[in-house]
């Protein structure tokens, strides 16, 4: 048996490895190893006071702390039967716009595009296309500035709490961002046009897409969980339809539908299920792109992210313009024992939380299902579909192609432990 070690998979969040076992040119084994160490959040959250939860769960992922904060506060608010005011809700959407802008700009330009353009990194891309990278960084910075204006800092912002916000952010720094947001909206449209010109590998997969859907807005927090296979369930019923299992090669749990099939969460799922709820500019760029929906090529999730960038810039502009806080920034908490589920769409897909709390507001049980855990079995299945092509390629090219597929998913492996070293084992005919 021959073992080939290839460079660790770069430009993903977290740590993992990819193992493909070949025999007579056919894949006999495929394993996405996650050796990102387990950190036991669901363990040490037990016994903590509920208001500490959004600050602690934020630390599950430095790229999408807002998603963790929002999913946990909505779950806890459900347990406490708290309904937040429309103003509190609008500001949550605005903060989420900041996270989408920062995370999508990072993924499109710094993590995935270098692959499609044959570059090892955005820093290398900057040596041949400096303007592209400068604009990308400017675009990303606007998302971070928005997060900072609302939550004090972009990584692990400090303003969100169960019931609403610690304080209303000052309006002036938010309004001051409008010219940059307007620039960002135009550059996001250009990003969509550019994204259509990139050389995506051919691969069409018949996915079951799963995302939060809301009839009146692009679903990221409120609404039901829709599947492209037709099921429409409320967030509280998530665990009866979607389950997680542990596999030996991974510190991340693996998600399946209750009947054992794989499903896909993330930008392709959201765009395919929710494109009718896009903001007008985003709808127009989608129409001009002449894409055939549903988009089924995992590499083209870059295009879906680009369209979402247009949407979230547009929504951010609308929300900043109408931001005029009045009344209390948070609803008072009346402690009671209870249980509540909540979910929101992290940039990389559906993030579900459920908590049980006691009458003193202490956490008694925690269940967190991150997006990458749900996508891992799907990534493995996609890699398997790619193997007939991989075996015809030279070793180095095969490795790169497989890596690129994994990266296209924007896997956030820190949060799925719940990075990647690629190991292809050629099992000799003997």
Q: Restricting to residues 190-249, name those near other proteins by CB under 8 A.
A: 245-248
Using the rule CB under 8 A, is 378 a contact of other proteins? no
| Whole-Å CA distances, 338 to 54, 335, 368 | 18, 9, 17
**Between residues 246 and 395, which has the closer beta carbon with respect to other proteins?**
246
CA distance 313 to 317: 6
**Between residues 124 and 426, which has the closer beta carbon with respect to other proteins?**
124
| Whole-Å CA distances, 216 to 134, 219, 223 | 35, 8, 9
Binding-site string for other proteins from residue 387 to residue 416, where x marks contact by CB under 8 A and - marks none:
----------------x----------xx-
Tokens matching residue 140: 């990303």
**Between residues 167 and 193, which has the closer beta carbon with respect to other proteins?**
167
**Closest listed residue to residue 30, CA positions, set 380, 423, 378:** 380
Selected range binding other proteins among 3-11, 215-223, 343-351, 386-394, rule: CB under 8 A: 3-11
Cβ 230 to other proteins shortest distance, Å? 30
Using the rule CB under 8 A, is 256 a contact of other proteins? no
Tokens matching residue 24: 């007579």
Site for other proteins in 354-373 (CB under 8 A): 360-361
Contacts of 403 (CB under 8 A, 6+ apart): 9, 10, 18, 115, 420, 422
**Closest listed residue to residue 357, CA positions, set 74, 83, 49:** 49
Cβ 54 to other proteins shortest distance, Å? 11
Answer for which of 110, 162, 225, 350 binds other proteins (CB under 8 A) is 110
Selected range binding other proteins among 147-155, 227-235, 285-293, 318-326, rule: CB under 8 A: 147-155
Cβ 215 to other proteins shortest distance, Å? 34
Helix or strand run (H / E) with residue 31 = strand 26-33
CA distance 294 to 368: 29
CA distance 69 to 60: 10
Place of tokens 């990072």: 106
Site for other proteins in 126-145 (CB under 8 A): 126, 130, 133-134, 137-138, 140-141, 144
Site for other proteins in 21-60 (CB under 8 A): 35-44, 46, 48-49, 51-52, 55-56, 59-60
Helix or strand run (H / E) with residue 69 = helix 65-79
Using the rule CB under 8 A, is 419 a contact of other proteins? yes
Using the rule CB under 8 A, is 166 a contact of other proteins? yes
């Amino acid at each position: 048996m021959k073992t080939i070690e290839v460079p660790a998979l770069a430009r993903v969040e977290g740590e993992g490895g990819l193992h493909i076992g070949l025999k007579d040119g056919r894949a006999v084994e495929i394993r996405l190893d996650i050796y990102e160490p387990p950190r036991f959040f669901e363990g040490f959250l037990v016994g903590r006071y509920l208001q500490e939860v959004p600050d602690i769960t934020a630390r599950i992922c430095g790229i999408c702390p807002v998603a963790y904060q929002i999913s946990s506060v909505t779950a806890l608010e459900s347990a406490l039967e708290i309904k937040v005011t429309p103003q509190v809700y609008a500001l949550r959407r605005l903060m989420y716009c900041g996270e989408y802008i920062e995370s999508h700009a990072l993924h499109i330009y710094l993590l995935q595009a270098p692959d499609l353009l044959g570059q090892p990194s955005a820093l290398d891309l900057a040596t041949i296309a400096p303007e592209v990278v400068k604009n990308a960084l400017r675009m990303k910075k606007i998302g971070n500035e928005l997060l900072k204006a609302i939550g004090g800092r972009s990584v692990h912002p400090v303003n969100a709490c169960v019931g609403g916000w610690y304080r209303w952010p000052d309006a002036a720094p938010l309004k001051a961002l409008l010219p940059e947001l307007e620039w960002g909206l135009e550059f996001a449209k250009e990003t969509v046009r550019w994204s259509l010109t990139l050389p995506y590998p051919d691969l069409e997969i018949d996915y079951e897409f799963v995302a939060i859907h809301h009839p009146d807005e692009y679903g990221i927090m409120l609404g039901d969980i829709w599947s492209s296979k037709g099921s429409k369930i409320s967030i509280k019923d998530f665990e009866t339809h979607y389950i997680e299992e542990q596999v030996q090669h991974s510190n991340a749990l693996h998600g399946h539908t209750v009947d054992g099939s794989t499903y896909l969460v993330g930008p392709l799922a959201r765009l395919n299920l929710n494109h009718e709820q896009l903001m007008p500019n985003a709808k127009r760029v989608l129409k001009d792109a002449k894409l055939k929906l549903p988009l089924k090529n995992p590499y083209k999730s870059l295009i879906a992210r680009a369209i979402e960038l247009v949407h979230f810039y547009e929504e951010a502009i609308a929300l900043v313009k109408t931001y005029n806080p009045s009344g209390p920034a948070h609803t008072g908490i009346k402690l009671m024992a209870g249980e509540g589920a909540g979910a929101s769409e992290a940039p990389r897909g559906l993030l579900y939380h459920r908590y049980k709390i006691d009458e003193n507001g202490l956490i008694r049980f925690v269940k967190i299902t991150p997006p990458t855990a749900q996508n891992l079995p799907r990534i493995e299945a996609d890699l398997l579909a790619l193997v007939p092509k991989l075996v015809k390629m030279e070793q180095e090219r095969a490795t790169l192609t497989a890596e690129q597929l994994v990266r296209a998913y924007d896997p956030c492996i820190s949060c799925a432990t719940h990075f990647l070293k690629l190991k292809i084992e050629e099992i000799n005919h003997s």
